[in-house]
Each structure stands twice: as C-alpha cells, then as structure tokens.
A and B are shown apart, each in its own frame.
Chain A
Amino acid sequence: MEIKIPHLAEGISSGTVVSILVSEGDAVKKDQTLLELETEKAVAPIPAPAAGKVAKIKVAQGDAVTIGQSVMLLLVEEGGDSQAQGESLKRQAPAAPSEAPMNVPQPAVLPARYEAVQAGGQLPPGIPPPASPSLRKIARDLGIDLARVRGTEHGGRITLADLRDYIQQLQQAGAAPAAYPPAAAVRPPSPPVDFSKFGPVRREPMTHLRKKISEKMSESWSSVVQVTQMDEVEISALLALRNKHMAAYEKAGVKLTLTPFILKAVVRTLQHHPIFNASIDGASQEIVFKNYFHIGIAVDTEQGLIVPVLKDVDKKSMLEIAREVNDLAGKTRERKIGLEDLQGGSFTISNQGGIGGAHFTPIVNKPESAILGIGQGREKPVVKNHRVEIGTLMPLCLSYDHRLIDGGNAARFISDLVQALEKFDESEVLLRSSETKPLAVKKGNKVKK
C-alpha cells in the first residue's frame, strides 16, 4: 500500500522530510514511525498504518512533500491489508491519521443557524448546488459541502467570494460557543483602522503560529467563563530544598529548577481536587474526569507561545520530570516537538517566574478546565510566628472554568497547593538508587576527559 502524507493539522499542507527512520526491505510494525516531517508548527511522525515490509522509499531527507503525496510503498502483511485498504475505499477525502491531533478541524459545517437557504429554496434531488466546476473542485479539496453555502448571484449561483464568506463565517463560528449565539459571529469584521494616519507604522504578516494562538485564545476567551484565583506561596523552604539537592541532580546531568517541584505539587493537589483535571462534554452534558495527569507547560519561544505536554507526571520521579521538562522545552524552542507531545493535556502551568512580573490572569487552555499561572518569587517581609521575617513569595494565579468549578473549590485548591509547596516532601526529591548508578557509566567517557 502507498504511504501518503496524511492530514496533519489545520492549515498545514506541506512539510519537509527531516528523517527517514526505515530502509527499503525493513519489516515494520503497525504504528511504527516511518519518517518524520517538519511542518510550520512541529515535527510530525508518519506512522505505519499496518504492519508490513517497506518496499520502496520515494523521498529523501530534505525533500519537500505535500499532503496526499505518496512517500513510501509498504507491502502489507496478509490480513491487515484488506482492512486498511477497505477503509480508504469508503473515505471521501485523503487519508487522515486515526488519532487526530487536537487541533484538527471539525468537519467544516456551520451550526444550523448559519446555514444559507438557497435563493430558490430546496435543491431538487440529484441536482448539485449551482457553482462552477472549478469552485466545486476547491470546495471538495477543502471538504466543504457547497449545499451549505449561500450563493449570491442570480439563481443562487455560488461564487468564490461566497465560498470565502462562508469560510470566514465558519472560522468565526468556531470561535464562538454553540450555547451563546453570538451576534459577532455573523457581523463582518470591523473596518480596518489606518494607523499610519497617526504616525509611521510597520506591517508584518501574522505567522501561522500567531494565527493559531490568536484563534485558540479567542475561542477559549469567548467560550470559557474564566475566574482567576490569586495567592502567594512562601518558597524559602522549597528553595533551600532545591539548593540542597541541586548538586546530586547536576551529577545526574540535570539542572534542578523549581518547575519539577511545582509539577509534583500540582499533580498532588489535582489528585485531591479531580474537578480541576476534568472537562465539560457539551454534547453529552457530562463531566469527563481524567484518570491521568498530563500537564501542559507553556513555553515561550521566539515565534510565540507553544504548550508541550508532559505525560503521566504522577508516575514519574523528580529526576524524570526534571529531565523530560528540559527536553520538552528544548525541543519546543527548536521547533522539533512532535504533534503527539502537543496534545492530551489535562491541566496547564504557565510559569513566568524566570522572566519577571507578579500576578497575572492566565487563560484556560480549552478543553482543559484550569490553568496555573506563576509569577516571579520575590523577597518580601512576611509574618511568621508573630514576627516579621524576610521570605520569598511566589505569586500563584489559578484561572478556572466557572461553568464547572465553583469559587470554593478554587480557594480550597489553591490553599492545598500552597501547602504542598511549602511543606514539600523531601523523600520525593531524593534520587532513587537506580537513578544514580547508570548515569556514571553513561557519562563515564566525558568525566575522564
């Protein structure tokens, strides 16, 4: 079977082959990564849709490829073949990966209220919407059903401009919750302001990532009822603990920052307050409690905000967390992060401590229900045992979805979080015996130098 570049994410139509992980003649397992593709947003692995043998590789490292392009030929083992092929028989559009990334657009269909009524009412059966063949081709490529597009020309004929309007409506509708019919969604965008009237200006196109962030933020802002709960935590003890163990972690090859402590404490608190690790399923009117703790970590990159996700934080040691956070952040800044590392988060942390600033109001990363913002820890006078002392106060800002979570929950959560950070369990920080030994071997060569 042909291995084709699948639909990866909204707006991504091409990429560059960064690595080919198999050779011709290799036997591969189902879901084994065949090659990696660098797109505007991230590095995406292309997995094998079925087990088989690589018959032919049609691309080379560095090649530019587009969605739908055949890149490899896989001789599929008996049995798996017919199933995989049978699926493509039914499919209208080119193949999409079975595990769609979070950002994959929903089928481009507007809620009923936006649906255009054909100028002449219902189309007779078997009669396609009035539009030119070239426009119908565009609609097919975009996966848009032209029967839903309002044609403005005589006879309800649909033009490219009509299709454009419809897509614009779709985008606006996507940014608005179904429960709140927004007048704004159908209102045309406000007329552009000529800023140059007021002084010299410079214009730059929005990058793909910036557009993406903008869309996600508007969507979250307009659909989630957000409240931010503030507090401060005194971290002198935590810093002392960090400093105490820093050398041991350094030996293990990892710089110990506050982030692993915060992650541990957050997960501990989430375990006691599962509603902060839940999501609303609007369609079924149910609350989805997640029995996993995948924590998104906002990373400030040159291009803009990206939130990689650290999976199963509850099951990992401090060293593992420290190392993986560093890896994730590094990969993200180099834009080598895989799509699988960008999805599945159940709670997000946005730590601005390294940059500066105190309290702020982070925006909930939909479909999650809460996000913790962290400001810079600063020395301040604190009252301890009726005496004023110097302490280090770190601002905590917990934004949450008030549709799901009440203020009392939030106050309890943040208090428990403060406790967890102030009375951090030292046994969590100690390196496990298995974590100290193999590293010496690994690093052996370098140490000798």
Chain B
Amino acid sequence: MKYIETEIVVIGSGPGGYAAAFYAADHGKKVILVEKDLELGGVCLNRGCIPSKALLHAAHLLNEVRHSKEMGISFGEAKIDLDKLRSWKDSILRKLSQGVRSMGKMRGVEVMHGRGYLEDSRTLRVETTEGQKFVRFQKAILAVGSEPAMPKAFDLGNKRIMTSTEALELEDVPARLLIVGGGYIGMELGTVYAALGSKIVLVEALPNILAGADPDLVRPVMKFALAHFEEVRLSSKVLKMETYLKQIKVISETAGQKREELYDRVLVSVGRKPNCDELGLKNTKVALDEKGFVKVDVHQQTSDPAILAIGDVAGGVMLAHKAVKEARVAVEYLCGEATAFEDIVMPAVVFTQPEVAWCGLTEAEAKAKGIEVKVARFPWAALGRALTINKPDGLTKLILDPDTERVLGVGIVGSGAGDIISEGVLAVEMGATAKDIAESIHPHPTLSETLMETAEVFYGISANSMSGRKIERQPQT
C-alpha cells in the first residue's frame, strides 16, 4: 500500500477547515485538505451563511421597495424570476469557492476530494474518484462540521419536508410554508420566503423565538414576524407529519389544542448535529461528549494525541467565526505557541429584519449566573440616522459591571446591527468601560452612534434621550 505522507491533514474545507489548512501552510507545514464535496467552503459557503445572506439581501430589497410608497416612490408590483435569483446566488457561491481554491493553491495546500475515513490515529483513507488514497499524517484536524437535524418522525423521504439545505436551493416558492423551529435559521429563511410571497406559519416549542438573545432584542424581530408571517405560534409542537397528495398534512398542538393543516412545504429547522458518523473515530482515541460532539480541550486537542478538532464538530456555538478562531488556536498549538481558546468574546448575529447581534455577557446570562450588572439602553426611535433610513425599530444596550463600569456585554437590534456589534466585541475584548465608549467620538449621523449614546445614557448625559439618571458627579477622566 502506498502512503501519502503529510505533517497535517485537515478534514473538511469549511471556514474552520480551510482556515486551519492555510494557517498551517503559512507556518511552513505540509498540509493536505480533504473535502467530501466537489466545492470547497463547507456549509457556510455552500449551504449556510453565504447563500442565506444572498437571499436575505433580495428579501430586504423587496421589502424596501414595498415600503417606498411612504417616501412617494412607486415601482409597481415586483416581478420575481426565481431561476435568475437562484443563479445569481449560485454565482456568488462559485466565486467564493473558487477564491478558496486559489488561495489554497498559492499556499501549496494539496486538496483531495473524497470522503475521509480514519483507519487509525495516523492514517486517513480517502475515497477519491480515482480510488482509495491513504494519507499518513502526524496530526489531523477534524473540521467536518455539522448538518441540519431531521427528527425521525418528520423524515418521510418527502422532498417537500426540507432542511435549510433544501430551502436554500430555492426550488419554488410554496404558497403555504410551515417552519418548525424559531431559531435563527427558521427566522432568516422565514424572512426570505415571506418576502418571496409564501404564507408562513412558524411553530416554536419555546415561549419565545431566537433563544439565546435577550427578549428586549427579540421584540422588534417578533414585531416584523407578526406583520409578515401569517402566524407565529409559540410554546407549540408539531406532533405528526404525513404526505397528503402534493402537500404535507401537519398535526400540531398549541396550548393543549390540536389542529390539522395542509402545507405545500415544511422547513424543519430544529438544530444541527455533528458529522461524527462514518469518520472512523472508533479506530482512534477520539472521545465524544454526551451530545455526540468531539471532546476537546482549550487547545482543540481531542483525547487522541494526534487529532485536533475545530468548528461545529467540536461543540459549542455553531458559528463560522468561532471555527476560524479555533483553527488559529489549533495551528498555533501545533506550532508550539502559547495559545488557548479561552476568554474569547464571541459575537452572534441573526440576519433577520431588523438584525439582532450581541456579544459577551447577555442580560439573561448575567441573571442566570447571578452576576450583578447595570444595563443601559438606547432606543433607536430617538436616533436621527435610524429615522432617515426608515428603520426606527431598534435598541442598543450595554451590560456593565456596576462597580468598574466595564462593558461586559453588548446587545443590538436594528438595521446593520451585525456590523455595529464589532465595536462591541472590541470594547469587551479590550476591557473598555462605558466611559471609554462615551468619550470616543462616533460620527453623526450614523447607526454606530447608538453605542456612544447608550454609554451616555448610563451617565445621564445623553443629549438625545432622557435616562432619568441624574448626574451625581463629574465624570471621571
């Protein structure tokens, strides 16, 4: 048997995998990147972040146009060419995937297409189109990601019951679409299909949508959903689904009351599961946690000395930027640097209308952990820039340490929140205080001003808002 020798093999070419491969190559390592799909980029680039953001942009455009009448601008009814929309979206994916490929080529990273299977802790078998190849590695980085979970009860083999993967394919625009699960995927795709013309019913098992975000940040999104979806059913469950002619018959339950309805399509967005099967982990010392994710330490090291894991498969929040950071930690660790995935401020963004973004400590988390905090809020209705772009639904808040006034967390809901949050991440990472933010000039009129305004609210010196707090003392310098 002929072995291909390498220092590092990275399995999976998503944002974590290709980042790990590229960092390692930049550190002078010989790297092989193994990808089971034909395209590089993983879920993020092909079936997640990027295609959903492309479609959401189209949805936002449609919604903008529909609201332009208030400004005295009329375009008439929008015509949607679904084929063209789909190919525009796909062209973006192709461009980005090609970009990843050429960046890899420039770094001398060898890309091998095929499913990888660990024969043991030193050998990866890759099922390529040219037959089996055997890679002998010194270290392997697992970056195999996750896939949408499909509960057995809903898995009828009917293509009208979709996960996010199929929903992003945009095969058609169903007249009636049921979305099971009101997390960020359900809410984002609901926004897309609602704009394209579907009547949407959303069923969420919990008493609120967007679990994890503070309820005050969710409120404007809920307001949008109530206006654009046919119905949002909270604390509700889908009990059963079955194929009924060209539709899906769905039995659901809300507050003890059962109902039976017909839908043209169903989107199941109830979470994601790690891709640990069919990887040969049983031939290694890699251990899984009780939820089936690969157990890692702060260096992304698994229980097998030769194997590291990053991204979704390593558990924690399933976000591309988390995988990228973990990729850096893993490679730095392999290169002997002092590094660890610790004390990291993780931002989260939901690309709904309006966007929700937060980082660091949330108010709910502070309450749950018994951490005493002070919260300063600034509603966007008082913000000039928000009104000029016709987006007054928004809120910025700072979660502060009451003694030191240090920024422990930032939460934003509003147009462009996903971009503004980066300043929040920097503030929390830097250990900045509310004073630091208040003292830094934010240009007017912008949406980023809200961070400064919120800090000023905390000190009772905001010109655009009444905080009720009296200035007790001269601000410290």
In the complex, B470 has a CB within 8 A of chain A: no
- Chain A nearest Cβ from B370, distance in angstroms: 8
Q: State the CA gap A360–B21 with chains docked (Å).
A: 64
**Chain B minimum-CB-distance residue to A73:** B138
**For A156, what are the chain B residues with a Cβ–Cβ distance below 8 Å?**
404, 406
Q: Is the CB of B339 within 8 A of A130?
A: no
In the complex, A283 has a CB within 8 A of chain B: no
Report the count of interface residues on B (CB-CB < 8 A): 35
Contacting residue for A125 out of B138, B335, B336, B371, CB 8 A: B371
**Chain B minimum-CB-distance residue to A124:** B371
Q: Is the CB of B431 within 8 A of A126?
A: no
- Chain B nearest Cβ from A129, distance in angstroms: 7
In the complex, B435 has a CB within 8 A of chain A: yes
Contact with A along B269-311 (1 / 0, CB 8 A): 0000000000000000100000000000111010101100000
Asked, given contacts A125-B369, A128-B343, A133-B430, whether A154 binds B405 with beta carbons under 8 Å apart, the answer is yes
In the complex, A85 has a CB within 8 A of chain B: yes
In the complex, A281 has a CB within 8 A of chain B: no
Q: Is the CB of A130 within 8 A of B406?
A: yes
Q: Is the CB of B431 within 8 A of A132?
A: yes
Q: State the CA gap A67–B436 with chains docked (Å).
A: 38
Q: Is the CB of A154 within 8 A of B336?
A: no
Q: Is the CB of A155 within 8 A of B297?
A: no
Q: How many residue pairs at the A-B interface have CB separations less than 8 Å?
A: 100
Contacting residue for A140 out of B336, B340, B404, CB 8 A: B340
Q: Is the CB of B431 within 8 A of A155?
A: yes
- Chain B nearest Cβ from A145, distance in angstroms: 12
Q: Is the CB of A82 within 8 A of B405?
A: no
Q: Is the CB of A82 within 8 A of B361?
A: no
Q: Is the CB of B335 within 8 A of A70?
A: yes
**Chain B minimum-CB-distance residue to A84:** B305
Q: Is the CB of A127 within 8 A of B430?
A: no
By secondary structure, the B interface counts as loop
Q: State the CA gap A29–B305 with chains docked (Å).
A: 21
- Residues from 330 to 362 in A contacting B, C-beta threshold 8 Å: none
In the complex, B476 has a CB within 8 A of chain A: yes
In the complex, B200 has a CB within 8 A of chain A: no
Q: State the CA gap A127–B431 with chains docked (Å).
A: 10
Q: State the CA gap A90–B299 with chains docked (Å).
A: 10
- Chain B nearest Cβ from A12, distance in angstroms: 15
Q: Is the CB of A157 within 8 A of B432?
A: yes
Q: Is the CB of B371 within 8 A of A127?
A: yes
- Chain B nearest Cβ from A52, distance in angstroms: 13
Report the count of interface residues on A (CB-CB < 8 A): 43
In the complex, A388 has a CB within 8 A of chain B: no
**For A171, what are the chain B residues with a Cβ–Cβ distance below 8 Å?**
none
Q: Is the CB of B305 within 8 A of A130?
A: no
Contacting residue for A154 out of B340, B361, B369, B433, CB 8 A: B433
**Chain A minimum-CB-distance residue to B285:** A82
**For A158, what are the chain B residues with a Cβ–Cβ distance below 8 Å?**
431
**Chain A minimum-CB-distance residue to B431:** A130
Asked, given contacts A88-B305, A121-B403, whether A68 binds B337 with beta carbons under 8 Å apart, the answer is yes
In the complex, B166 has a CB within 8 A of chain A: no
Asked, given contacts A92-B340, A120-B406, A156-B404, whether A133 binds B138 with beta carbons under 8 Å apart, the answer is no
Contacting residue for B305 out of A81, A120, A124, A136, CB 8 A: A81
Contact with B along A119-149 (1 / 0, CB 8 A): 1110011111111110010001101000000
Contacting residue for B372 out of A95, A119, A124, A154, CB 8 A: A124
- Chain B nearest Cβ from A90, distance in angstroms: 8
**Chain B minimum-CB-distance residue to A123:** B401
Asked, given contacts A92-B340, A140-B340, whether A132 binds B401 with beta carbons under 8 Å apart, the answer is no
- Chain A nearest Cβ from B456, distance in angstroms: 16
**For A82, what are the chain B residues with a Cβ–Cβ distance below 8 Å?**
285, 305
Q: State the CA gap A119–B436 with chains docked (Å).
A: 16
- Chain A nearest Cβ from B336, distance in angstroms: 3
Contact with A along B311-351 (1 / 0, CB 8 A): 00000000000000000000000011111101100000000
Contact with B along A1-42 (1 / 0, CB 8 A): 110100000000000000000000000000000000000000
**For B298, what are the chain A residues with a Cβ–Cβ distance below 8 Å?**
92
**For B403, what are the chain A residues with a Cβ–Cβ distance below 8 Å?**
119-121
Q: Is the CB of A131 within 8 A of B431?
A: yes
Asked, given contacts A127-B371, A140-B340, whether A119 binds B404 with beta carbons under 8 Å apart, the answer is yes
Q: Is the CB of A85 within 8 A of B138?
A: no
Q: State the CA gap A157–B301 with chains docked (Å).
A: 32
Q: Is the CB of A94 within 8 A of B401?
A: no
In the complex, B135 has a CB within 8 A of chain A: no
**For B476, what are the chain A residues with a Cβ–Cβ distance below 8 Å?**
154
Contacting residue for B436 out of A2, A86, A154, CB 8 A: A154
- Chain A nearest Cβ from B8, distance in angstroms: 11
**For A89, what are the chain B residues with a Cβ–Cβ distance below 8 Å?**
297, 299, 301, 303, 305
**Chain B minimum-CB-distance residue to A142:** B338
**For B343, what are the chain A residues with a Cβ–Cβ distance below 8 Å?**
128, 136
Asked, given contacts A127-B408, A130-B404, A132-B429, whether A2 binds B138 with beta carbons under 8 Å apart, the answer is yes
**Chain A minimum-CB-distance residue to B366:** A124
Q: Is the CB of A132 within 8 A of B372?
A: no
Contacting residue for B404 out of A88, A92, A120, CB 8 A: A120
**For A121, what are the chain B residues with a Cβ–Cβ distance below 8 Å?**
403
- Residues from 184 to 216 in B contacting A, C-beta threshold 8 Å: none
Q: Is the CB of B305 within 8 A of A127?
A: no
Q: State the CA gap A158–B343 with chains docked (Å).
A: 15
Q: State the CA gap A126–B370 with chains docked (Å).
A: 11
**Chain B minimum-CB-distance residue to A133:** B429
Q: Is the CB of B305 within 8 A of A85?
A: yes
Asked, given contacts A82-B305, A120-B404, whether A155 binds B337 with beta carbons under 8 Å apart, the answer is no
Q: State the CA gap A130–B297 with chains docked (Å).
A: 24
Q: State the CA gap A89–B304 with chains docked (Å).
A: 9
- Residues from 363 to 377 in B contacting A, C-beta threshold 8 Å: 369, 371-372
In the complex, A69 has a CB within 8 A of chain B: yes
Q: State the CA gap A208–B207 with chains docked (Å).
A: 65
**For A140, what are the chain B residues with a Cβ–Cβ distance below 8 Å?**
338-340
**Chain B minimum-CB-distance residue to A122:** B403
- Kindly name the residue among A89, A120, A124 whose own CB sees the greatest number of chain B CB atoms within 10 A: A124
Q: State the CA gap A124–B336 with chains docked (Å).
A: 31
Q: State the CA gap A68–B337 with chains docked (Å).
A: 7
- Chain B nearest Cβ from A72, distance in angstroms: 12
In the complex, A288 has a CB within 8 A of chain B: no
**For B406, what are the chain A residues with a Cβ–Cβ distance below 8 Å?**
120, 130, 155-157
In the complex, A93 has a CB within 8 A of chain B: yes
Q: Is the CB of B405 within 8 A of A155?
A: yes
Q: State the CA gap A137–B476 with chains docked (Å).
A: 29
**For B338, what are the chain A residues with a Cβ–Cβ distance below 8 Å?**
68, 92-94, 140-141, 143
**For A130, what are the chain B residues with a Cβ–Cβ distance below 8 Å?**
404, 406, 430-431
Q: State the CA gap A81–B337 with chains docked (Å).
A: 21
- Chain B nearest Cβ from A96, distance in angstroms: 12
- Kindly name the residue among B298, B338, B369, B432 whose own CB sees the greatest number of chain A CB atoms within 10 A: B338
Asked, given contacts A70-B335, A89-B305, A154-B433, whether A127 binds B361 with beta carbons under 8 Å apart, the answer is yes
**For A70, what are the chain B residues with a Cβ–Cβ distance below 8 Å?**
335-336
Q: List 12 A-B contacts (CB under 8 A).
A: A70-B335, A70-B336, A81-B305, A85-B305, A88-B301, A92-B298, A93-B338, A130-B404, A154-B404, A154-B476, A155-B432, A155-B433
B: residues with CB less than 8 A from A are 138, 285, 297-299, 301, 303, 305-306, 335-340, 342-343, 361, 369, 371-372, 401, 403-406, 408, 429-433, 435-436, 476
A: residues with CB less than 8 A from B are 1-2, 4, 67-70, 73, 81-82, 85-86, 88-90, 92-95, 118-121, 124-133, 136, 140-141, 143, 151, 154-158
- In the complex, given contacts A70-B335, A155-B435, what are 8 additional A-B residue pairs having Cβ atoms less than 8 angstroms apart? A92-B338, A94-B336, A94-B338, A118-B404, A132-B429, A140-B338, A143-B338, A155-B405
Give the 3 A-B residue pairs with the shortest CB-CB distance, closest first.
Answer: A130-B431, A85-B305, A68-B336
